[in-house]
Amino acid sequence: NKWLWPIPGRNTPADWFFAFFDDVLCDTIVRETNDNAWKVLESRSLTPKSRINKWKALTTEELKVFIGLLFHMGTVKTNRFNDYWKTSRFFNFGCVRDQMSRDRFLLILRVLHFSKDPPEEQNIDKLHKIRLLVDTFNNGMARMYYPDRNLSIDESMILFRGRLHFRQYIKGKRHKYGIKVYSLCETDGLCLRFTVYSGKGGELGGVGHATKVVMYLMRGLLGNGHSLYLDNYYNSFPLAAQLLSNDTYCTGTLRRKMKFFPREVTEAKLKKDETLARYADGVMVGQWVDKRPVRYISTEFENTMATTINHRGVENQKPLPIVHYNAKMKGVDRHDQLLSYYPCDHKSIRWYKKVFIHVLQMMMVNSHKIFTFHNNTKMSFYDFRLEVIDALLPVKIAQIPRLPVQGAKVPHVISKIQKKNEQNKRVSRRWCQQCTKDGYRKRTTYMCIQCPGEPALCPLGCFFKWHKP
C-alpha cells in the first residue's frame, strides 16, 4: 500500500480529511444546494410562515460548520436534532448553539442537494442524486492511494425504512432494511471503492449480478497480482477463471448448488476433518467437513492442511484456503464496525441524505487509517475525529468582560492562560497567588495580564481581593 500524493497541508488530521472532502466537492454541494433552495422557494405550496422564506445563500464556510455539527452529533448522541439546541439542564450544548441556529441547521438539511435533476424524457440514472458522492470517493481513493495485496468484497447496509424502490432486506444484517452497498476493502477496514445497488434495472443488476459487482469494484486493480477474498454470494468457477486470467487470485467459500461444482466433491461422504478437492484450469474446488460441510474455491492456495490456534489455545487442522479466508475476509466488517462507533445519522425521509452522511463517515475512517499509517502513530479514531471537528467548527472568541476595580489607575482584565502543556496539549494550570497568600493551594487557568509577573488568580473572588486597595 502506498500514498500517491504529497502530504496534505501541515500533516494534521484536518488536512488529511480535506484531502478527501476537497474544495471542488464542497463548492459543488454549495452551488447545488442554493439552486435547490430557490426551486423550493418558487413552489406554490409554501405558506407565509414557512421556514424556507428566511433562506440565505449557503457559503462554503457555513457548509463546513454544518458538517462539523453532524460529526459532533455522532460524538454526543441524542434522539432528535432539536435536542442539541435545548437549554434544559439535561442537554444544553452551548458549542452547538454558538455555531449555528437550529432553524438554519434544519433549513440546510432540508434543501441539501448534490446534483441537478435530469429532464423527465431522459433515461434517469437511479443514483443520479448521489452519483457525485460515489464518483468523488472512488476517484479520489484511486488517485491518491494504492492498496495492499489482500482485498475483500462484501455488502453492507445503510439503515433506511422509508419509501424507496431499491430498498433491500437482508436477514442476517444488523440493519435488515435499507440501502445495500457493495464495498472493496483492505483487511484493516480501509475502503477503496464502493457502489450502491439500485435494483435489477440498474447498471450492475440482472443476470450475472455478482460477477458484475466484482469486476466493477476491481476496475483499475486487475493484472497486479492482488488476492481477492469473497464469500459464497459472489464466488463461482467462471468468475475465478476470469480473475485468474487477469492475474488476480481469488479465494472464498462456495455454494453447494453452484454451476460447474464437481459432483464427486459434493456427493462425497466425508468424515469430520476430511477434505477432498479437484483442479481445473488453475482453479481448485474443495470440500472440508467441520461441524458441517464447508465448500471453498481458490486459485492461489493448494488444498493442504494447516495448523491454527484458536482463542482458547487449542490447535486445529484446517485447509489452507479456509485459514487465509478467515484471516483476510474481515475488511468490510471492520469498516462497518468503525462506522458504527460514532453514528451521526438521524431519521430522514430523503434517502440520498443518508448516503451523504454515510460517505462523510467513510471519508473520516479512511483519512484516519491513512494518517496513522503514514505518520506511524497510534492516534485513536476518537481523538482524530475531535481534531477534525475542531477544525470544521471555528472558535467563537468571547469578549472578555472588563471588571471595574476600585483604586486602580489602569483597568485590570481577567484573562485565560493561553500557554498549553507540551505533553497533553491542555491549557496549563498555575497556582492562584491569592489562595497561596491566604494559606490555600489551588490551581487556576486565569491570570491578570496588567499586574507585574501576570499572577494566576481565581476568577471573581480572588481577582477582586488581589486588586483591593
Tell me how far the alpha carbon of residue 148 is from its chain's centroid: 20
Long-range pairs for 315-322: beta carbons < 8 A, 24 or more residues apart: 317/273, 318/288, 318/290, 319/275, 319/286, 319/288, 321/251, 321/284, 321/286, 321/296, 321/297, 322/288, 322/294, 322/296
Average pLDDT of the residues in 354-360? 94
- Selected residue with higher pLDDT from 21 and 312: 21
Query: Do 64 and 22 reside in the same domain of the chain?
Result: yes
pLDDT of 38: 87
407 domain-assigned: no
Residue 121: pLDDT band (50, 70, 90) is low
H-run or E-run covering 66: helix 60-75
Looking at the chain, the number of H-run helices and the number of E-run strands are: 15, 17
pLDDT of 399: 44
Query: Do 329 and 369 reside in the same domain of the chain?
Result: no
CA distance linking residue 13 with residue 22, whole number of Å: 14
CB atoms within 10 A of CB 125: 14
Query: Do 311 and 395 reside in the same domain of the chain?
Result: no
For 266-306, what is each residue's pLDDT tens digit? 888 888 888 999 998 899 999 999 888 999 999 999 999 99
Query: Do 353 and 322 reside in the same domain of the chain?
Result: no
CA distance linking residue 215 with residue 201, whole number of Å: 18
Query: Do 22 and 171 reside in the same domain of the chain?
Result: no
Query: Does the pTM exceed 0.75?
Result: yes
pLDDT of 39: 86
408 domain-assigned: no
What would the DSSP string read from start to end of 246-297?
Answer: TT-EEEEE--TT-TT--HHHHT----TT-EEEEEETTEEEEEEESSSEEEEE
What is the 3 state secondary structure string of 85-97? HCCCCCCCCHHHH
Tell me how far the alpha carbon of residue 234 is from its chain's centroid: 25
pLDDT of 408: 43
The parent domain of residue 354 ranges over 1-127+137-143+347-402
For 385-432, what is each residue's pLDDT tens digit? 999 999 999 876 544 444 444 444 556 777 777 777 766 667 778 888
Residue 360: pLDDT band (50, 70, 90) is very high
Angle at alpha carbon of residue 305, lines to 302 and 306, rounded to 5° = 110
226 domain-assigned: yes
Kindly state the cell numbers that stand for 105: 441547521
CB 194 within 8 A of CB 138: yes
123 domain-assigned: yes
CA distance linking residue 214 with residue 235, whole number of Å: 9
Average pLDDT of the residues in 324-340? 93
Query: Do 287 and 195 reside in the same domain of the chain?
Result: yes
Query: Do 334 and 359 reside in the same domain of the chain?
Result: no
272 domain-assigned: yes
| 433 DSSP 8-state letter | H
CA distance linking residue 439 with residue 314, whole number of Å: 64
290 domain-assigned: yes
Query: Do 167 and 273 reside in the same domain of the chain?
Result: yes
Judged by average pLDDT, the poorest of 33-42, 113-122, 335-344 is: 113-122
Q: Which of 341, 358, 377 is the last residue of a domain?
A: 341
233-254 b/e (C-beta count within 10 Å ≥ 16 → b): ebbbbebbbbbbeeebbbbbbb
* Bridge-based pairing state of the strands 315-319 and 414-416: unpaired
CB 182 within 8 A of CB 153: yes
CA distance linking residue 351 with residue 199, whole number of Å: 15
Kindly state the cell numbers that stand for 271: 468424515
Query: Do 119 and 76 reside in the same domain of the chain?
Result: yes
Burial of 139 (0-12, 13-18, 19+ CB in 10 A): exposed
For 231-277, what is each residue's pLDDT tens digit? 999 999 999 999 999 999 999 999 887 777 888 888 888 888 889 99
Burial of 432 (0-12, 13-18, 19+ CB in 10 A): buried
Cell 463461482 belongs to: 236
Query: Do 264 and 294 reside in the same domain of the chain?
Result: yes
What are 184's strand-pairing partners?
A: 153, 193
Query: Do 215 and 310 reside in the same domain of the chain?
Result: yes
CA distance linking residue 401 with residue 384, whole number of Å: 34
Return phi, psi of residue 98, to 5°: -70, -25
H-run or E-run covering 70: helix 60-75
CA distance linking residue 140 with residue 153, whole number of Å: 19
Average pLDDT, the chain: 87
Query: Do 279 and 198 reside in the same domain of the chain?
Result: yes
CA distance linking residue 99 with residue 72, whole number of Å: 12
Return phi, psi of residue 336, to 5°: -65, -35
218 domain-assigned: yes
Q: Which of 292, 323, 341 is the last residue of a domain?
A: 341
Query: Coil, strand, or helix at residue 446?
Result: strand
Tell me how far the alpha carbon of residue 427 is from its chain's centroid: 30
Q: What is the domain count for the chain?
A: 3
Kindly state the cell numbers that stand for 328: 483476510
409 domain-assigned: no
